A and B are shown apart, each in its own frame.
Chain A
């Protein structure tokens, strides 16, 4: 690493972490007012208002990292995206969830493991937003609550790998997201993210500049998967599409790769 690159990384870490703390504190302080305003303006229930606030918080994140991280969303346009669907996304980094602010819809309920609820500064908001704590709930409860979200016109987002990938490669998928999609008769929208493993892979604390790409793949209808074990076939189909898309996204020309490594 050159001296310039090292200074660039140091500047990035000071900038991003300090502004993220500031942005979080401001968000926490202003959130009661925002909830009241959103309830008055849109007649939203508290959980819907909090999900919108979290999405806005993520939008702020995209702005504050923009001097060091170029973010691009591609694929399906907002008008092509179903209002209610089950999103599934590959998992590379702690910050993957923050980039979900790049989605055009704010009504997204995350299905997450228990450890994110241990972050006290986020816990209340995750509870108010009705996030699904999949390790704590039985699968019947998860399905019931997920179906309720979908029936109210929202979407549920899963990381079907369950854990962040340690080597950047997509891992085995758990089938919960696909069971929910089949049970609720909602399309699955696969999302593919690249670059966050350079930003902050598991096991590292310092951030690195990078390019993050989020691709929204076409929805996969569940009509043909209503038979017994159909969710397993749906899982395979969605995963194969994601593997193909990720290969295409990471298969960048040599000159572009050189630009990425030097940024």
Chain B
């Protein structure tokens, strides 16, 4: 999966689940301050990403460090690279 495909898949999955505007989903936006997600949404976000990429990430310590959309893209790319 290319970097662009990862970005598109992440953004589409999150936009659908959290009813976000795709145009506002730039890598530097904060999930909490800009997109209005809360701690409970983080749990849902993990479920959505697991469904979109067919991997398990809920036990990963790095998930707690995610703050921006770009962090998610990087996290997913790293996870997919490690699995391949």
Which B residues between 30 and 84 are near A, CB-CB below 8 angstroms?
38-41, 43-44, 47-48, 51
Residue of A nearest to B37 (CB): A174
Once bound together, how far apart are the Cα atoms of A174 and B51, in whole Å?
Answer: 19
Per-position 1/0 for A184-203, Cβ under 8 A of B = 00000000000000000000
Smallest CB separation, B37 vs chain A (Å): 9
B38 and A174 within 8 A (CB): yes
B39 and A232 within 8 A (CB): no
A residues contacting B by CB (< 8 A) are 139, 171-172, 174-176, 179, 228-229, 232
B24 within 8 A of A: no
The one of A171, A172, A176, A229 that contacts B47, using a Cβ cutoff of 8 Å: A229
B-side interface mostly: helix
A232 and B17 within 8 A (CB): yes
Once bound together, how far apart are the Cα atoms of A231 and B48, in whole Å?
Answer: 12
Once bound together, how far apart are the Cα atoms of A198 and B52, in whole Å?
Answer: 41
The one of B17, B39, B47, B48 that contacts A139, using a Cβ cutoff of 8 Å: B39
B residues contacting A by CB (< 8 A) are 17-19, 38-41, 43-44, 47-48, 51
- Enumerate chain A residues within 8 angstroms of B44, measured Cβ to Cβ: 175, 232
Smallest CB separation, B11 vs chain A (Å): 16
Those 9 A-B pairs whose CB atoms lie nearest each other, nearest first? A172-B19, A229-B47, A139-B40, A175-B44, A176-B40, A232-B44, A172-B18, A229-B51, A174-B40
Q: How many A-B residue pairs have CB under 8 A?
A: 22
Residue of A nearest to B46 (CB): A229
Smallest CB separation, A31 vs chain B (Å): 34
The verdict on A232 contacting B40 (CB below 8 Å), with A172-B18, A172-B19 known, is: no
Once bound together, how far apart are the Cα atoms of A254 and B61, in whole Å?
Answer: 58
The verdict on A228 contacting B47 (CB below 8 Å), with A172-B18, A172-B19 known, is: yes
B47 and A232 within 8 A (CB): yes
- Enumerate chain B residues within 8 angstroms of A232, measured Cβ to Cβ: 17, 44, 47-48
The one of A171, A175, A228, A229 that contacts B40, using a Cβ cutoff of 8 Å: A175
Smallest CB separation, B58 vs chain A (Å): 10
- Enumerate chain B residues within 8 angstroms of A228, measured Cβ to Cβ: 47
- Enumerate chain A residues within 8 angstroms of B40, measured Cβ to Cβ: 139, 174-176, 179
- Enumerate chain B residues within 8 angstroms of A179, measured Cβ to Cβ: 40
Smallest CB separation, A162 vs chain B (Å): 8
- Enumerate chain A residues within 8 angstroms of B39, measured Cβ to Cβ: 139
Once bound together, how far apart are the Cα atoms of A174 and B17, in whole Å?
Answer: 10
Once bound together, how far apart are the Cα atoms of A4 and B19, in whole Å?
Answer: 43
Residue of B nearest to A135 (CB): B38
